[in-house]
């Protein structure tokens, strides 16, 4: 099984961190752990870190479940997670190989088994967007105090 690339140093202002995640749902806890450790080490408030972790969970899960993987290295495919701390805000990017449609906000009924992920992202992020470049789709969110 492919392993996620290691995070080697703590987040500092403007420093973009990146994590290559194998194309497996088991990558979600790996992503959460790496981001949590990094942001706590940077001294960010626990409530902000908690909000970032919900957004990371939703974006990585969505990419793994609904999109094609991207080639990360010669040996494996998956999704790319990046995060940057700027002025107590965290910019989160998740890049995948795209799916059958663009990620979009859904209005799930209470009985629907899924479809709430981007609604949670919208509730927690000050801004989120989707961009496509060379067959790759990146969902970006900004979470701040």
Output the pLDDT for position 2: 45
Output the pLDDT for position 37: 95
| Total-model pTM | 0.83
DSSP 46-102: HHHHHHHHHHHHHHHHHHHHHS--EE-SSS-EEEEEEEEEETTEEEEEEEE---SS-
Output the pLDDT for position 20: 93
- pLDDT < 50 positions in the chain: 1-2, 5-10
| List of domains in the chain | 18-143 (3.30.565.10)
Residue 84 to residue 12: CA distance in whole angstroms: 8
Handedness of CA 29, 32, 35, 40 (dihedral sign): negative
Phi, psi of 120, rounded to the nearest 5 degrees? -70, -40
């Amino acid at each position: 099984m492919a392993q996620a690339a290691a995070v080697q140093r703590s987040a500092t202002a403007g420093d973009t961190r990146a994590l290559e995640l194998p194309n497996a749902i088991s990558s979600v806890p790996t992503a959460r752990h790496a981001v949590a450790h990094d942001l706590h080490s940077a001294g960010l408030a626990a409530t902000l870190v908690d909000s970032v972790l919900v957004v990371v969970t939703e974006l990585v899960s969505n990419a793994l479940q609904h999109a094609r993987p991207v080639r990360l290295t010669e040996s494996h495919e998956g999704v790319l997670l990046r995060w940057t701390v700027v002025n107590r805000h965290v910019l989160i990017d998740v890049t995948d190989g795209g799916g059958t449609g663009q990620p979009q906000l859904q209005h799930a009924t209470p009985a629907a088994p899924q479809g709430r992920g981007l609604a949670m992202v919208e509730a927690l992020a000050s801004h989120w967007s989707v961009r496509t470049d060379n067959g790759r789709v990146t969902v970006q969110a900004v979470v701040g105090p």
